[in-house]
Amino acid sequence: MKPTIAITGLTLLFAFPVLAQTAAEKTGVNSVMGVAPKTEDFVMEAATSDIFEIEASKLAVERSTDTATMSFAQQMITDHTRTSEELKALVSGRKVKATIPVAMTPSQQNMLDDLKKLEGANFAKLYRSYQEDAHEDAVDIFKRYGSEGENPDLKAWAAATRPALEHHLVMAKDLNK
């Protein structure tokens, strides 16, 4: 029965372009192909990424024992709070038709739950790893939307925000050395 489900899923993926775009973004197909996400997908991913960054970094400020991780975490709280507010302003100002999620994804919540179980060096190691991964994903989606996005205001914002995210990624990679 599993092959039938897979074939049905693939049929639906190609039969309904609206669903295909969302499914393609969720599965990473768009990223591999360099295709821009739909506006709603971009807003959801940018907003949930900010929520995760802020919450994980608040934990890092509390639980980390090294100043480099704590300093990085404080910068993430400041910068991602700002980008979150900017995104909300674009949506509430009706320049972007999308819904801002109020919670992170289940996967992000699982990562946050993993962090909550740790302290000290073990916490810092996992936090740093998650930060590098999260910023790789953020740079990718901001690059794709900033280049090919469908909403001009959101596209401009994504392009303008991307350099800061690229800097965050460099900082996260440096922490992991």
Q: What is the pLDDT of residues 56-71, one digit of tens each?
A: 999 999 999 899 999 9
Question: In this predicted structure, what is the pLDDT of residue 18?
Answer: 33
Question: In this predicted structure, what is the pLDDT of residue 150?
Answer: 95
- Which CATH number fits the domain 36-175, given the four candidates 3.40.640.10, 3.10.180.10, 1.10.630.10, 1.20.1260.10? 1.20.1260.10
CA angle 107, 109, 110 (to 5 degrees): 65
Question: In this predicted structure, what is the pLDDT of residue 3?
Answer: 45
Cβ atoms of 96 and 159 closer than 8 Å: no
Q: Where are the domains of the chain?
A: 1-33, 36-175
Q: What are phi and psi of 83, to 5 degrees?
A: -65, -35
Question: In this predicted structure, what is the pLDDT of residue 95?
Answer: 86
What is the per-residue DSSP string for 99-113?
---SS--HHHHHHHH
Question: In this predicted structure, what is the pLDDT of residue 27?
Answer: 56
Question: Which of 43, 47, 39, 41 shows the shortest CA–CA distance to 27?
Answer: 41
Give the integer Cα–Cα distance in Å for 167 and 135: 9
Question: Which of 143, 152, 130, 170 shows the shortest CA–CA distance to 49?
Answer: 130
| Residues of the chain falling short of pLDDT 50 | 1-21
